Amino acid sequence: MSVSALETRPILPDLSKVPAVDEVGVDERVARFCSRSIKTTAKLEALKLALSMIDLTTLEGQDTPGKVRQLCQKAIHLHDAMPGLPQVAAVCVYPTMVGVARKALEGHDINVASVATAFPSGMAPLNVKLEDTRMAVAEGADEIDMVISRGAFLAGEYGFVFDEIAAIEEACGDAHLKVILETGELGTLDRVRRASVLSMHAGADFIKTSTGKIQPAATMQVTLVMLQAIRDYFRETGRRVGMKPAGGISNAKLAIHYLVMLKETLGNAWMTPERFRFGASSLANDLLMQLMKQSTGAYQSADYFSKD
């Protein structure tokens, strides 16, 4: 390794200096976000913005190429009865399905995201994780969603987790890296904050709450702590890291609460699909139904929207 490479290598910060999280304060702050009134034109804008931030996701053992193609068709034709809709940001699949998704989305400006590194448990040796990542990138993934080794993190082996993320980041090449903390397994907000700081310093482009396989998945509390970590990291380094809450955000109202929280914590610079995503599958239909409600005046039925 050359000298310059050594100098640019990421360095693990002292995690004992990471500020402690005031859990009661977080709860109260979150309650305030939920009390904002977003109506009419502002609501319309929020719904469209949320739609453009969605990573349409299918991560089931029963996924087939047909199912993935169907999801890609859904991404391309969200609801043709309503013109002028934004596109979703990406389609998120398993590495073996990346090729199928890439082909199905050809000619459309929708990214292919792939989970990697022995998703969802992350219980595999580093070389397997690296191979998993390289394979997904080679198949054409624009974004990689990796999971951290929660067991090692909880055992206090921060250096191990840090090096792993840095190695995967290198294997990603040009693909963006989202680091899944799986907050449902971390237990406390203090650990969430530490894992966020660790991941960002290791080179994450995005930090993401959950795999969606563990309950609780994304909560507003956890997301707020991560957003605050992103803000402090930006003030420290000048680099803007993105945020992706995933799992359990299934209705438009909740998505709007998240957007309020995003705006009031990080500001307008983050109000874009480049820096904020929703990992969801059923959220898109609820947003579409709300948009139709806004334009027709009648409450909508799932019968008239494509399944996801």
Q: Which of 74, 129, 178, 208 is catalytic?
A: 208
- Closest to other proteins by CB, 272 vs 295, is 295
Site track for other proteins across 289-308, x = CB under 8 A: --------xxxxxxxx----
- Residue 299 CB, nearest distance to other proteins (Å)? 4
Binding to other proteins, residues 38-57 (CB under 8 A): none
CB nearer to other proteins: pick between 4 and 301? 301
> What is the closest distance, in whole angstroms, from the C-beta atom of residue 81 to other proteins in the complex?
12
Smallest distance, Å, CB 297 to other proteins?
7
Residue 192 to residue 121: CA distance in whole angstroms: 17
Nearer to other proteins, 22 or 304 (CB): 304
208 catalytic residue (yes or no): yes
* 132 has catalytic annotation: no
Strand ranges in the chain using DSSP code E only, listed in sequence order: 54-57, 90-93, 111-116, 143-147, 176-180, 206-208, 242-244, 278-280
Could you say which of 132, 145, 205, 286 is catalytic? 145
Residue closer to other proteins (CB basis): 83 or 297: 297
C-alpha dihedral (84, 90, 94, 95), degrees to nearest 10: 130
Active site residue 263: no
Q: From the centroid of its chain, how far is CA 218?
A: 10
Question: For residues 209 and 245, is the Cβ–Cβ distance under 8 A?
Answer: yes
- What is the DSSP code string of 154-186? HTT-HHHHHHHHHHHHHHHTTSEEEEE--GGGT
Write down the residue that tokens 């596109």 correspond to: 87
**Count of residues binding other proteins (CB under 8 A)?**
8
* Paired strand residues for 143: 113, 176
Which residues from 238-297 bind other proteins, rule CB under 8 A? 297
Binding site for other proteins (CB under 8 A): 297-304
For the annotated catalytic residues, the residue numbers are 145, 208, 244
